[in-house]
Structure 1
Amino acid sequence: MRLDNKDRKILGLLAENSRMPYTQLAKKLRSERNAVKYRVNKLVKNGVIRAFETELDFHKLGYKEYLCYMGFYKFDNITKNKIIDFLKNHDFIKWIGECFGKYQIKIRLSAVDEEHLYKILSELEKNCSLSIRRKTVLQITGFVKQRNESLFSSARIKKPQKDLKIKLDKKDLLILRKLCENNRETLISFFDQTKLSPEAVRLRIKKLEKAGVIAGHTININHKALGIVMWGNMLVKFKDPKKVLSKLKEFALQKKSIGRSFALFGEWNAELGFAAENTDVLHDLVGEFLTKFSTELVDYEIVFNQEAHKFPPTPMGVFK
């Protein structure tokens, strides 16, 4: 699908708030509501928008988040499909990336504690038999950059939510689950599962946003549809990670080619997501990074992504 300027504006607005009503989208685009709705549906049908994603703070749900990079001895199509099918159906795996190079699979997962993490990894190893050649597990400790929104607009610094304590009940969890399945559902559609009026649902969503349980609403976009031919992650290790974190965040916010990125605990201190139209853009980005952090850097490694799996990207087990 070839994107025009209006398509890109729609993607930009939905990346900032994917629950924005069609009437509001139409007003911002100076267009008719039905015309905007048609364009959004076309972007979904053609695979440009892969999911309407509600971003959650899993820590407030009692979970920690991890990344796991895996390399395999055997990775033919039969083995690959078996592994990916298992991962897609796992309740605590959020996102699956197919890579090439040292690693073939990257996953993002949620676990209550180390015992739960060990159980998930053991299930994975059992399913993969003896195929796993190497495995790198990293705990996500925070964001370096929360979204890929700068692909469409200037980078914004999001104000952190107050650390408000909130006790979630079953209806809150039902609302969160439904939002994660498709956050453009109307408030009326929540009634069958929650038995709450649209206004009651709206107030609960507002409460969850205010408490920081819901960090935002965005879209998951197919990079290939945007003409992005190179996308992946740069794993970096610093001499003093805490000292360099604010500088790293500033650098990431300034670079449109850098997307969602994490601060980590483990073998690597950060993972910087990148998306580049060609090798020159990536070459320049890496060069600028190395120059900027030449005295603080210990090591880095680039992992290229080939394909992404599991949409919407949500570990549904956290709602049970």
Structure 2
Amino acid sequence: MRYLQENNNVEKYKSDSKDMSIIGILSSDARIPLTRIAKKVKLSRDAVKYRIDQYEKRGIIQGYRTVVDIKKFGYDKYHLFLKLNNPSSSIEEKLRKKFVSYPFTRAVIKFSGNYDYELAIVAKDIQELDKIISKIIEDCSSSLHESDLLLLPKTYIAETFPPNFPGHIQNKSSQYSSNQKIDKKDIEILKILGDSAKTPLHELETKVKLSADAISYRIKNMIKSGTIIKFVPVINYTSLNYNLHTLLLNISSFDEKKEKILKDFLQIDKNTLWATKTIGKYNVLIYLLVKNVDELQETLIKLRGLFPAQINHYETLIAYEEYKYIYFPKELF
């Protein structure tokens, strides 16, 4: 799951190098103090605040989320791709509202292509997954033409922006071994930060009934343990002249050697936003963020060159709109 959001006809934003730098810094840590951003971009604190306020006002930044490792809570991640049977707009709207209302969905994306929707879902075990899939199929009823479920065992790349973005800052990969015990107060903090990652400590203090120092200590511990991965802005890519494409690949005999070749390529590909290994009809899922078709084709051609005559099947989808986007589904806790 990666950062696409409601378009709402947001106008294109004419940005400069300072804007790109500020957005890039926020994408690496949305809770970074304004004074630190100001120092990095060589502007005053007030000038940085004004620019960020403008990004939010113009819909370039549409909120802030906390990226949480849901596996720490015993959940596995799945993506369900749905092809509908050309329902009327009213029926599709009802279905979309149901998809969004499910407590087990973390993202709902509408596509143009061979699939109409992608649902990012979580489940604790195969029995729970079976109930979830049965519920979705039942709700779709005759409107469902086809569905494909993918399990996500590992992530290769997870960025807010790919290297083709002028303000790109590469994520620093960290390995955590701490098995921190999460208690009710930690859950309360995550429920607030999950939807609003920039909530200041004094507001958390009032809501959670703990001191600012105690809350700060708990947040740091959750970061150290890997429960909190990072804090990110919700970027409206369309306003920055980018388009999001989803690529589904089935590579034959996808063994460790081929997996390493793919992973090494994804690490340097300038258009890759997010990529994961999958189990199901496809064994790779990639999100590409590009400004034009040529950039999309550039990555596709390179992938074909890496695996000549080994890509059995692939699908490219144009992400149209995302109706839900969370990392910590608080209704489950």
- TM-score normalised by the shorter chain: which range applies? over 0.9
Cα pair 1:244 1:296 within 8 Å, conserved: no
Q: 1:250 aligns to what?
A: 264
Q: Using the TM superposition, give the Cα deviation of residue 3 of structure 1 relative to its aligned residue in structure 2, in angstroms.
A: 1.9
TM-superposed CA distance for 1:222, in Å, is 1.4
**Aligned-pair distance for 1:17?**
0.8
Letter in 2 for 1:303: L
Match in the other structure for 2:189:
175
Cα RMSD for the two superposed structures:
1.8
Aligned ranges for residues 142-291 of structure 1 at < 5 Å?
Answer: 142-150=154-162, 151-153=165-167, 156=170, 158-228=172-242, 230-238=243-251, 239-291=253-305
Query: How far apart are the structure 1 equivalents of 2:327 and 2:311?
Result: 32
Alpha-carbon distance, 1:127 to partner: 2.2
Going from structure 1 to structure 2, the CA distance change for 1:201 and 1:157 (only over 3 Å counts) comes to: closer
Distance (Å, rounded) in 2 between the aligned partners of 1:30 and 1:131: 55
Letter in 1 for 2:206: D
For residues 14 and 92 of structure 2, the distance between their equivalents in structure 1, rounded to whole angstroms, comes to 31
Which secondary structure does the structure 1 equivalent of 2:141 belong to? coil
Distance 1:314 1:167 in 2: 17
Is 2:186–2:218's contact at 8 Å kept on the other side of the alignment? yes
- Aligned positions of 1:39-118 closer than 5 A: 39-118=51-130
Which structure 1 residue ranges, 5 or more long, are not aligned?
Answer: none
Q: Distance in 2 between matches of 1:251 and 1:155?
A: 18
User: What's the offset of the Cα at 1:153?
Assistant: 4.4
Give the number of equivalent residue pairs: 318
Which 5+ residue runs of structure 2 have no aligned equivalent? 1-12
TM-score, normalising length from structure 2? 0.90
Contact conserved, 1:258 with 1:275, CA < 8 A, in 2?
yes
Residues 124, 281 of structure 1: alpha-carbon distance in 2 compared, 3 angstrom cutoff: same
Report the alpha carbon displacement of residue 246 of structure 1 after superposing the two structures with TM: 2.3
Q: Give the Cα separation in 1 of the matches to 2:152 and 2:250.
A: 14
Residues 276, 181 of structure 1: CA spacing in aligned structure 2 closer, same or farther, 3 A cutoff?
A: same
TM-score normalised by L of structure 1: 0.93
Which residue type is aligned with residue 75 of structure 2? Y
Cα pair distance change 1:313/1:213, threshold 3 Å: closer
CA gap 1:236/1:33 in 2 versus in 1, 3 angstroms = same
Matches within 5 A, 1:130-141: 130-141=142-153
Q: 1:185: Cα distance to partner?
A: 0.8
Partner of 1:19: 31
Match of 1:126 in 2: 138
Structure 1 stretches of 4+ with a deviation exceeding 6 A read none
